[in-house]
């Protein structure tokens, strides 16, 4: 049977855009049920303390207050976490960061909930806070991490290594060595919708929770565990989600558990949505990282050795930092070939908030260091930064330092050549020196490259599943266990199902994630939706298409191979078309149940954590970006005036969405480069709203010219790979390289704010910044 590709890679409208432009899309904070209670949390105002008294009975005496919960209300005190169980749904015995929730009040009004929180008697005894990651493993450092049964420091979270050959002889015998330290700051996700959940008691003691977490199944599994319920008693539904970027996991699971416990206790619906200040104080961030990078090359520009020692601050809890540290180690050397390589990543506990998943997941951090070091090496050997990268970068057939051969879909050279051309690189690199000699406004242009492992890699089992069903009105219901919080995967899955079934996408209703109707597919992270969820959708739809083909062949009295499709209709050898609806009816007459499911499991990979070698991912994304800046040497102000991006994303399925991911990723990367820093001063967060934590506005963004390079991946759906995370990664180092090109002075600490660009160091702040600026108790919760 022959089919033309009609949906894949063609301009399409996003399936969920209409309700969003009309303002009718319902986010969790937009739900209001009769009798619904409002929940508000008591949060720690200190970075590290023992809870010596927690008496909630005064809160229960406040008019309107219906219930209060503490860690006592959960099984095993609400201990949860993956891969490491070290956090509680509400603080148990100790608080380890400012903003950690201690108790939650449910009341008839937000004002009463707040009054209840204020009435709780909570006495804490301060403990020494560990706020400098460099000293977290000192023998006398206060214990932040959990007790451990070996002789290692309890503040050591994890270590990761990558090894190839012996680096020492290589450094000794090399012509040029680069040896520098780089630092990146904590970054706030700044999704415009804050975290929240609504729990609704259901008949028989069951519970339904609307949660804006990224992965409804993980929320469900956590609820099952801490509430002591069975899977069939807990249903989690994901409403429309207002952005996530990796940030809507742990805290969202906690809020879901808190409102669920309160709803079970009160037998009423309970909702909690965080104010912006609460969200910024309580949520996890991208963790800070310090990198010591040493590179060695021959004078002809052949790069041959890389050594990186990184220390990541995970803050007070592990969250998914062990996975982040692993990905940071795998990408620490950048997309280049080396004879020898030695990577060591150490993660420590401190009382600086806590760190977790954020777009790029360790690679954003690692690349901010290595892509500057690569530029420094290019200069040291007297080569143009793009020429140097082209000479040393990964190509088809190259061996990655871990021993894995690149045998499919490698488009880095094409990406570098593309941005060189679209940005006018060669001419600008040549002429800006003359301009800068005569002007206080300096111009500069910089480049960075990226590779990024597709999906989870060695983080865990890697599969996704979907379902599809034809309804009696000939519409089609499609589900996926992977969720869409804005990135566009619902549209990607709709297009794939339409393609395989040969129907108009308008027939398909891509349902929202619901643990009662969709199938577990692992977490919605790691830019894995298109490849994993796309392949699962494709398999599911192919299973259904196969049934319909058999029915059509039966109806048209021919073999399946003789069938043709003309738009939706089936045509047999007699050339008399029958409608898709006729085929569906006939299939039902034949006794077929037109409902299928499908699962796709990623190709096997292998990683040896002891040798630091193996095959960490089954495929890689490649990309390059050029950023052009002007720097005012009077003020230190950097303006980004142009960005050119090229990303090898494999086959593009939903072009508008793919470009949107590139533009949005670049915006987050430019913010990371120039203005975004969550400042923990002695463990006290200093930026608690958008007046203190600045993210790029439309005025901070230039027009971006993006190119999508389609190096088809054999195992990807139609050849597709990934885009969401790697789109962010090169923007920051390319910006820093551009600033250096403009000013001749390198800023190795992100962000490159005014004082760092102008003075080369931070300005000291006067006064005491440890005064609690939470304002949590002074402000009523949302209603």
Partner 1 sequence: MLIEFNLNREKITVDAPPDITLMALLRDYLGLTGTKEGCEVGECGACSIILDDKLVSSCTVLAPQVNGRAVMTIEGVSEPDNSPNDLQENFIDYGAVQCGYCIPGMVLAGEALLTKTLQPTRADIREGISGNLCRCTGYQQIVDAIEGTAQERLAKQNKEQAS
The CA–CA distances, whole Å, from 222 to 38, 234, 681, 714 equal 22, 10, 32, 36
Q: Does 22 bind partner 1 (CB under 8 A)?
A: yes
Residue span binding partner 1 (CB under 8 A) among the ranges 9-17, 545-553, 602-610, 632-640: 9-17
Q: Does 7 bind partner 1 (CB under 8 A)?
A: no
Residues near 533 by Cβ (< 8 Å), separated by ≥ 6? Answer: 464, 466, 480, 481, 482, 489, 492, 493, 521
State the nearest-atom distance from the C-beta of 505 to partner 1, in Å: 14
Q: At what angle do helices 655-674 and 363-380 cross, to 10 degrees?
A: 70
Q: Does 691 bind partner 1 (CB under 8 A)?
A: yes
Ramachandran class of 120: left when φ > 0, alpha when ψ lies in -120 to 50, beta otherwise? beta
CA 189 from chain centre, in angstroms, equals 9
Q: Which long-range contacts (CB under 8 A, 24 or more apart) does 551-558 make?
A: 551/583, 551/584, 551/586, 551/587, 551/590, 551/592, 552/578, 552/583, 552/586, 554/586, 554/590, 555/582, 555/583, 555/586
Residue span binding partner 1 (CB under 8 A) among the ranges 21-29, 67-75, 203-211, 349-357: 21-29
How far is it, in rounded angstroms, from Cα 545 to Cα 503?
Answer: 10
Instruction: Calculate the dihedral angle through the C-alpha atoms of 202, 27, 653, 493, rounding to the nearest 10 degrees.
Output: 10
Instruction: Specify the residue, 77 or 656, whose C-beta has the smaller distance to partner 1.
Output: 656
Q: Does 24 bind partner 1 (CB under 8 A)?
A: yes
State the nearest-atom distance from the C-beta of 670 to partner 1, in Å: 9
Among 7, 9, 29, 503, binds partner 1 (CB under 8 A): 29
Q: Does 778 bind partner 1 (CB under 8 A)?
A: no
Instruction: Specify the residue, 74 or 693, whose C-beta has the smaller distance to partner 1.
Output: 693
How far is it, in rounded angstroms, from Cα 265 to Cα 201?
Answer: 9
Residues near 270 by Cβ (< 8 Å), separated by ≥ 6? Answer: 36, 37, 38, 39, 106, 198, 199, 259, 262, 263
Report residue 235 as tokens: 């249903």
State the nearest-atom distance from the C-beta of 21 to partner 1, in Å: 4
| 8-state DSSP, 720 | B
State the nearest-atom distance from the C-beta of 454 to partner 1, in Å: 21
Instruction: Specify the residue, 22 or 766, whose C-beta has the smaller distance to partner 1.
Output: 22
Q: Does 10 bind partner 1 (CB under 8 A)?
A: no
Q: Does 30 bind partner 1 (CB under 8 A)?
A: yes
Instruction: Specify the residue, 141 or 482, whose C-beta has the smaller distance to partner 1.
Output: 482
Among 325, 572, 660, 683, binds partner 1 (CB under 8 A): 660
Among 281, 666, 674, 723, binds partner 1 (CB under 8 A): 666
State the nearest-atom distance from the C-beta of 643 to partner 1, in Å: 9
Residue with the two structure tokens 């998914």: 320
The CA–CA distances, whole Å, from 517 to 475, 564, 595 equal 17, 33, 13
Q: Does 243 bind partner 1 (CB under 8 A)?
A: yes
Q: Does 240 bind partner 1 (CB under 8 A)?
A: yes
Q: Does 667 bind partner 1 (CB under 8 A)?
A: yes
State the nearest-atom distance from the C-beta of 111 to partner 1, in Å: 11
CA nearest to 468, candidates 567, 550, 528, 542: 542
Residue span binding partner 1 (CB under 8 A) among the ranges 16-24, 134-142, 298-306, 570-578: 16-24
Instruction: Specify the residue, 26 or 135, whose C-beta has the smaller distance to partner 1.
Output: 26
What b/e readout covers 146-163, taking b as 16+ CB neighbours within 10 angstroms? beeeeeebbbbbbebbbb
State the nearest-atom distance from the C-beta of 275 to partner 1, in Å: 6
Q: Does 782 bind partner 1 (CB under 8 A)?
A: yes
Q: Does 360 bind partner 1 (CB under 8 A)?
A: no
Site residues for partner 1, window 253-292 (CB under 8 A)?
Answer: 275-276
How far is it, in rounded angstroms, from Cα 187 to Cα 674?
Answer: 12
What b/e readout covers 105-120, taking b as 16+ CB neighbours within 10 angstroms? bbbbbbebbbbbbbbb
Q: Does 36 bind partner 1 (CB under 8 A)?
A: no
Among 699, 766, 771, 778, binds partner 1 (CB under 8 A): 699
Q: Does 21 bind partner 1 (CB under 8 A)?
A: yes
Instruction: Specify the residue, 28 or 752, whose C-beta has the smaller distance to partner 1.
Output: 28
Q: What is the per-residue binding string for partner 1 in 174-213, x denoting contact by CB under 8 A?
A: ---------------xxxxxx-------------------
| 8-state DSSP, 99 | T
Q: Does 701 bind partner 1 (CB under 8 A)?
A: yes
Among 186, 360, 362, 486, binds partner 1 (CB under 8 A): 486
Q: At residue 132, what are phi and psi to the nearest 5 degrees?
A: -120, 110
Among 74, 88, 358, 659, binds partner 1 (CB under 8 A): 659
Report residue 193 as tokens: 């919708």
Residue span binding partner 1 (CB under 8 A) among the ranges 12-20, 258-266, 307-315, 735-743: 12-20
Residue span binding partner 1 (CB under 8 A) among the ranges 151-159, 543-551, 557-565, 663-671: 663-671
Ramachandran class of 243: left when φ > 0, alpha when ψ lies in -120 to 50, beta otherwise? left
Instruction: Calculate the dihedral angle through the C-alpha atoms of 366, 484, 259, 321, rounding to the nearest 10 degrees.
Output: -10
Q: Does 517 bind partner 1 (CB under 8 A)?
A: no
Are 518 and 479 in contact, with CB atoms under 8 Å apart?
Answer: yes
Q: Does 488 bind partner 1 (CB under 8 A)?
A: yes
Q: Does 173 bind partner 1 (CB under 8 A)?
A: no
What is the size of the binding site for partner 1 (CB under 8 A)?
Answer: 59
Please report, as ranges, the residues that interact with partner 1 according to CB under 8 A: 13-14, 16-27, 29-30, 189-194, 240-245, 275-276, 485-488, 656-657, 659-660, 662-668, 689-691, 695-699, 701, 703-704, 779, 782-783
């Amino acid at each position: 049977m022959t089919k033309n590709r009609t949906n894949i890679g063609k301009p399409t409208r996003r399936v969920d855009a209409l309700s969003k432009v009309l303002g009718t899309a319902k986010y969790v904070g937009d739900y209001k049920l009769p009798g619904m209670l409002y929940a508000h949390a008591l949060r720690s105002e200190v970075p590290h303390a023992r809870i010596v008294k927690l008496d909630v009975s005064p809160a229960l005496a406040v008019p309107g207050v219906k219930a209060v919960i503490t860690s006592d209300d959960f099984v095993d005190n609400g201990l949860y976490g993956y891969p490491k169980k070290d956090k509680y749904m509400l603080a148990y015995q100790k608080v380890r960061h400012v903003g950690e929730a201690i108790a939650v009040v449910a009341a008839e009004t937000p004002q009463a909930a707040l009054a209840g929180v204020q009435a709780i008697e909570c006495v804490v005894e301060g403990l020494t806070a560990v706020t400098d990651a460099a000293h977290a493993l000192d023998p006398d450092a206060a214990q932040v991490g959990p007790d451990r049964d070996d002789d290692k420091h309890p503040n050591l979270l994890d270590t990761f290594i990558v090894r190839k050959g012996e680096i020492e002889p290589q450094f000794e015998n090399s012509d040029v060595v680069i040896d520098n330290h780089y630092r990146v700051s904590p970054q706030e996700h700044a999704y415009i919708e804050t975290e929240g959940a609504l729990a609704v008691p259901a008949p028989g003691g069951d519970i339904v929770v609307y949660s804006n977490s990224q992965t409804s199944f993980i929320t469900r599994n956590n609820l099952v565990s801490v509430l002591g319920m069975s899977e069939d008693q807990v249903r989690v539904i994901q409403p429309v989600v207002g952005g996530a970027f990796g940030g809507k996991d742990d805290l969202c699971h906690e809020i879901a558990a808190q409102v669920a416990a309160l709803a079970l206790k009160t037998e009423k619906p309970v909702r909690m949505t965080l104010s912006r200040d609460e969200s910024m104080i309580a949520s996890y961030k991208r963790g800070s990282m310090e990198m010591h990078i040493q590179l060695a090359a021959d004078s002809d520009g052949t790069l041959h050795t890389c050594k990186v020692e990184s220390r990541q601050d995970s803050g007070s809890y592990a969250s998914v930092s062990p996975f982040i540290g692993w990905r940071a180690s795998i990408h620490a050397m950048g997309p280049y070939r080396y004879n020898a390589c030695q990577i060591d990543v150490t993660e420590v506990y401190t009382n600086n908030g806590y760190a977790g998943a954020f777009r790029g997941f360790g690679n954003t951090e690692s690349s901010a260091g290595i892509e500057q070091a690569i530029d420094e090496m290019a200069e040291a050997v007297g080569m143009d930064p793009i020429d140097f990268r082209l000479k040393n970068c990964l190509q088809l057939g190259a061996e990655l330092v871990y021993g894995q051969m690149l045998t499919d879909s490698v488009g880095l050279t094409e990406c570098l050549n593309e941005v060189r051309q679209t940005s006018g690189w060669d001419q600008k690199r040549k002429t800006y020196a003359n301009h800068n000699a005569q002007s206080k406004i300096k111009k500069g242009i910089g480049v960075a490259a990226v590779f990024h492992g597709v999906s989870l890699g060695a983080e865990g089992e890697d599969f996704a599943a979907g379902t599809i069903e034809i309804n009696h009105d000939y519409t089609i219901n499609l589900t996926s266990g992977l969720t869409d919080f804005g990135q566009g995967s619902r549209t990607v899955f709709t297009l794939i199902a339409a393609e395989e079934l040969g129907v108009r996408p308008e027939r398909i209703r891509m349902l929202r994630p619901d643990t009662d109707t969709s199938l577990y597919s692992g977490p919605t992270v790691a830019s894995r939706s298109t490849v994993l969820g796309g392949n699962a959708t494709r398999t599911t739809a192919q299973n259904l298409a196969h049934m319909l083909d058999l029915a059509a062949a039966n109806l048209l009295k021919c073999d399946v191979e003789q069938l043709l499709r003309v738009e939706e209709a089936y045509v047999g050898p007699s050339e008399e078309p029958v409608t898709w609806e006729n085929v569906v009816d006939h299939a039902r007459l034949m006794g077929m149940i037109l409902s299928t499911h499908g699962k796709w499991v990623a190709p096997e990979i292998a990683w040896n954590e002891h040798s630091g070698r193996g095959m960490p991912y089954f495929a890689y994304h490649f990309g390059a970006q050029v950023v052009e800046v002007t720097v005012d040497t009077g003020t230190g102000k950097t303006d980004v005036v142009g960005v050119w991006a090229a990303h090898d994303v494999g086959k593009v399925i939903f072009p508008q969405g793919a470009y949107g991911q590139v533009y949005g990723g670049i915006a987050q990367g430019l913010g990371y480069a120039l203005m975004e820093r969550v400042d923990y001063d002695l463990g006290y967060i200093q930026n608690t709203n958008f007046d203190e934590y600045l993210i790029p506005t439309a005025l901070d963004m230039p027009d971006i010219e993006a190119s999508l390079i389609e190096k088809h991946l054999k195992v990807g759906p139609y050849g597709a790979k990934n885009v969401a995370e790697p789109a962010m990664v090169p923007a920051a180092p390319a910006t820093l390289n551009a600033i250096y090109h403009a000013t001749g002075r390198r800023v190795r600490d992100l962000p490159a704010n005014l004082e760092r660009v102008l003075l080369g160091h931070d300005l000291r702040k006067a006064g005491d910044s440890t005064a609690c600026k939470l304002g949590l108790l002074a402000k009523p919760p949302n209603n």
